[in-house]
Structure 1
Amino acid sequence: MASLWRTYQGLMAKYPWTVQIVTAGSLVGAGDVISQQLIERRGPANHSLKRTAKMMSIGFFFVGPVIGGWYKVLDRLVAGGTKSAAMKKMLVDQLCFAPCFLGAFLCISGTLNGLTAEQNIAKLRRDYGDALVSNYYLWPPVQIANFYFVPLHHRLAVVQIVAVAWNSYLSWKANKM
């Protein structure tokens, strides 16, 4: 395990943006596998590889770049590594970024699932509130710790590790018709 961590650290130092994006896409995909197998109990024979590929693509092309970029912006908006700065970052993250990000995530997944604009809006109306409330149960304490203890270049990885459970929930929510 230590050797795997050292390899990850080395790749992160050399290719931070690429590693963050690949990590996000892989962990969003892992969340979908967990959703299909543990939450929905589909079994291996009924696992939708197409759905997992769609979710991974959201991770690679949306989650990784957007969250990775957001943390850079957030560090410029609220400078410092104090407890107070961590609390301010968490508040800006959860009150400004999270609601927009979550709505965009649900819309993108609906579009990739072939929903029409009207169906996507109806699904968003149905699922967004529950998803946002669930977000507020999980993410504020995680983000305070993340912003206070974790260096900027590792924040996306920390979030994505915690987000394996969150991604499982989001995948279930996004793919529930």
Structure 2
Amino acid sequence: MGALRRAINIIKAPIMAAGKAYNDVAQRAPMYTGVVTTVVKTSAADLFAQKVVEGRDEVDWRRHSMFLMFGFGYLGCWQYYLYNNLFVRWCRPITDVFGHMGSAPVKVFIDQCIHHPLLYFPCFYSLKGLVEGRPLAESMADYKEHMWENLKALWMIWVPAQMVNFTVVPLHLRIPFVAGVSFAWTVVISVMRGAMDKTPPKPEEVVAQAAQAAQSVTAASTSVSVGRTGSQGISLQPLLNSATASADCPEDMKPGAQGPVGLQQLVAPAEQESASGRMLLR
């Protein structure tokens, strides 16, 4: 047990030292630390989604730059101001009376039912459309079309995560905590966006593909018919007759007689060779 405890301490020591150093930096410069952490996290999450989850051969750098911009401007700068300033001021009367356990549900409700549906997703789709060169109206239509499935995915992760964040996480570590949980969320939304970007084929393309497939089937059928017509002069009947020859057969069809070579003549030498082989083995 002593050796195991020492091994655990050796492994734990650098992790604890890194965590303490990160915490010290976050206390001295909470916004700077939160923004840098968010940008690094967003970049890593999208690269993971593209290369590992989606299995892309090449990175979509336009999509990646969109995530970096979103990570810096919205997830880093704006959410730091929202969570560490506005939420604290708005919910201070509740926190003073009921503590963080009392104000956390209110903050989660504002965050998940007002902030994200009305601000987070519109900004996300607007920036995405800007990077892709699409008009704002089209981006907003895309946002409305996928809002419900996005919210379901959002609430599965962020309702419990934000309850923990607003209840027990220190103020200077709230954005880093969000960044850590957001790694999983960014992978989810990145994969969802990649899957939704695959435009289905147009109706005329489907008709053209079906016509081409029909022509291929017709050509294959014609080729088979021509092959059958060209092989009508070849008959397997002599092979079958010779294989089933009996004393009632004509002399030229009995085994050993001169005539068409049948299955019996083909099999018999092989059987004789097999018997010779068994004798040699003995």
Q: Same fold (TM over 0.5)?
A: yes
Does residue 138 of structure 1 match 2:157?
yes
Of residues 70, 82, 86, the one that matches 1:73 is 86
Question: Whose Rg is larger?
Answer: 2
The sequence identity of aligned pairs, in percent, is 23
Aligned to 2:210: none
Residue 43 of structure 2 aligns to which amino acid in structure 1?
Answer: G
Aligned to 2:265: none
After TM superposition, the structure 1 = structure 2 runs for residues 42-57 of structure 1, keeping only pairs within 5 Å, are 42=56, 45-57=57-69
Aligned to 1:94: 112
Moved more, 2-11 or 63-72: 2-11
- Contact 1:32 1:167 survives alignment (8 Å): yes
What count of residue pairs does the alignment treat as equivalent?
Answer: 175
- Contact 2:66 2:127 survives alignment (8 Å): no
The higher relative CO (CA closer than 8 Å, separation ≥ 6) is in: 1
Aligned to 1:20: 34
After TM superposition, the structure 1 = structure 2 runs for residues 106-125 of structure 1, keeping only pairs within 5 Å, are 106-125=125-144
- Contact 1:127 1:173 survives alignment (8 Å): no
Q: Structure 1: how far apart are the matches of 2:170 and 2:132?
A: 36
- Contact 1:110 1:174 survives alignment (8 Å): no
Structure with higher helix content: 1
Of residues 31, 35, 40, the one that matches 2:45 is 31
- Cα RMSD (Å): 1.8
Shift of 1:165: 0.9
Residue 47 of structure 2 aligns to which amino acid in structure 1?
Answer: V
Gaps of 5+ in 2: 1-14, 198-282
Q: Tell me, what secondary structure is at the counterpart of 2:134?
A: coil
Q: Structure 1: how far apart are the matches of 2:140 and 2:107?
A: 30
Residue 91 of structure 2 aligns to which amino acid in structure 1?
Answer: V
Q: Structure 2: how far apart are the matches of 1:16 and 1:91?
A: 25
Q: Structure 1: how far apart are the matches of 2:38 and 2:66?
A: 13
